[in-house]
Every structure is written in structure tokens, then in C-alpha cells.
Amino acid sequence: MGGLLCLGARPSISGLAYGLHRGSIAGLRFETRIRPSRDGRMFRKSDQLELAARHVALARLIVERQRAYIALLKADGAPTIGAEYRLEIFLCSLGILEEHERELRAALTTSPPQRSAG
């Protein structure tokens, strides 16, 4: 296809990430809440990484389902252009989410260990 350009600049929130943030996408329900840390920071990096990993896993599932849907459409001889366009959008969103997860993982491995409040 090739009609959609996936830019390297990450938007503040993509359509897929927005759906993930809201708690449902493609008929799936999941938990996106993470708890604030006791040391005054908004969220612990490990919690952010856990949430990012869940978003990546769900985005991969969405991509897999969209590919299966396209295969069904093709088997029925139905037009697939809209479904293929959405797949490109999902793939761009997946790339953004994977990049964010890699950044969090790198930050977690290079930052000093977080002290537990106690």
C-alpha cells in the first residue's frame, strides 16, 4: 500500500495510545492504572515500564487481529483498502509504543536504584 507516512516524531498521544489510555480498544478491556510512588514522584519507572509493556502487548494483539480481519475480507473477495489503511495506522502506533517502552527500559537500567520508602 504505502499511503501512510509514519513520522519519527512521536505525537503527544496517538489514536491507539488514546484507546489504550481509555481502557478499551477493539472490544478488549484491560487495566491501565498504576499507583503513585511513595517517594513523591508521579509514578515509579518500573510501573511506567510495566504499563508500557502491557500497551505494547495489546497493540501487537490488535495488529494480529487486524491482519486476520484483512485475510477474511480477502477470502470473501471484499475490498480491503480501509482495513489495510487502519493496519498501517496500528503499525505506526505499535512502533511508537515499542519505542517508548525501549526508552523506559533504557532509563531504568541507567538510573540509580530507587529507594523504597519505609
DSSP for 44-91 reads -HHHHHHHHHHHHHHHHHHHHHHHHHHHHHHHTT---HHHHHHHHHHH
Q: Is residue 19 part of a domain?
A: no
Q: Is residue 63 part of a domain?
A: yes
Q: Is residue 61 part of a domain?
A: yes
At 11-36, the pLDDT tens digits run 433 444 445 445 555 455 555 555 55
More confident residue, 71 or 13: 71
Domain interval for residue 78: 43-109
Domains contained in the chain, number: 1
Tell me the mean pLDDT in the region 43-69: 91
pLDDT over 70, % of the chain: 57
Q: Is residue 37 part of a domain?
A: no
Q: Is residue 81 part of a domain?
A: yes
Q: Is residue 31 part of a domain?
A: no
